[in-house]
Amino acid sequence: MKVLVTGMAGFIGSTLAARLARDGLEVVGVDNLNDYYDVSLKKARLARLEKLQNVRFVRLDLADREGVDRLFADERFDRVVHLAAQAGVRYSLTHPHAYVDANLVGHLNVLEGCRHQQVEHLLYASSSSVYGMNQVVPFATRDNVDHPVSLYAATKKANELMAHTYSHLYGLPTTGLRFFTVYGPWGRPDMAMFLFTKAILEGRPIDVYNHGEMSRDFTYVDDIVEGIVRLLEVVPSADPDAGVVDDSPDRSSAPYALYNIGHGSPVGLMDFIHAIEAALGRKAEYNFLPMQPGDVPRTWADTTALYRATGYQPRIGVEEGAARFVDWYRSYHGIVA
């Protein structure tokens, strides 16, 4: 099976590509290597993949319509896992256009490529941020998600709507993956675990938003990857009765599916910080701050649908996950414990 992984130089994309290649699939990865964060980390992730047999990398911006058309026509992918995006909630307040270019134009170009080349299954990254102002937890895919609180979230919700249209009009099987706060080795420098670890090791205080009164369904990257690998095989089919008997947002007569991929249990921000402190063997100095615009106080994934479809329930808790991250962080930066 030949699989396209977009965003392959990214955190989740590089971890997924390594797993798929080890499983014996032929992997082609694209990425534009943008400088949203340290490009040398993206290059180091790619260098790691170069050692594997069946992975190839193509540098391409998904907003380049002709380039994407050509890639799909030349390569003839069986399946596509589309993870490239402008990520980050806070950055979307200051750089909105980056989200439109990567997440809307890029997503459309991928949909068009899949449609014209009859790709068997498109899986794409959505986000827990689509739940926006929702109060009822755990968050379930049958809930309405019409109240995003950041442009980032709005583009992810738009991705789901665009995918639904292509599933309906062209019979393209699509699966949207709502990831919940992903962390782990090779993680993103703009995210909490990386920022906290770096600051603690450098003896600087850490910024703790909403005075620590937040919780997240933190999900270890290998659990995310296992969910994607299993869902790659769960190709949605058309369901002529859906929408008639039940107008739940995650059901449709089109070959369209949505899943939460999250650990399934929320962890308080202070407990998360304590897990990092324990892994580092050092206490942090806290700089308590108010809530940031665009942020939500809590997330919590209902993972029943994922379990029903794949038999998989994410496993790794934050203590173990933080320890694995810190091991990686130290070895990547050559820091002796």
Q: Which of 87, 225, 316, 326 binds ligand NAD (CB under 6 A)?
A: 87
- By CB under 6 A, is residue 31 in contact with ligand NAD? yes
**Pattern 179-198, ligand NAD, x by CB under 6 A:** x-xx-----x----------
Min dist CB 334 to ligand NAD, Å, is 22
Half-sphere exposure of residue 216, counting CA atoms within 13 Å on the CB side? 26
Catalytic site residues?
152
**Token reading at 193:** 């675990």
Q: Which residues contact 203 (CB under 8 A, 6 or more apart)?
A: none
Integer Cα distance of 309 and 231 in angstroms: 8
* Nearer CB in complex with ligand NAD: 11/72: 11
* Nearer CB in complex with ligand NAD: 150/310: 150
Min dist CB 98 to ligand NAD, Å, is 8
Which residue type occupies 113?
G
Which residue type occupies 3?
V
- By CB under 6 A, is residue 255 in contact with ligand NAD? no
DSSP assignment letter at 105: I
- By CB under 6 A, is residue 34 in contact with ligand NAD? yes
**Token reading at 197:** 């670890």
Q: Which of 333, 315, 308, 84 is nearest to 194 (CA)?
A: 333
- By CB under 6 A, is residue 302 in contact with ligand NAD? no
**Pattern 91-130, ligand NAD, x by CB under 6 A:** -----------x---x------------------x-x---
* Nearer CB in complex with ligand NAD: 16/25: 16
- By CB under 6 A, is residue 263 in contact with ligand NAD? no
Integer Cα distance of 54 and 23 in angstroms: 10
Min dist CB 39 to ligand NAD, Å, is 8
**SS3 (DSSP) at 103:** helix
Instruction: Tell me the CA end-to-end span of the chain in Å, nearest whole number.
Output: 42
Interface residues toward ligand NAD, by CB under 6 A: 7, 9-13, 30-34, 42, 61-63, 83-87, 102, 106, 125, 127, 179, 181-182, 188
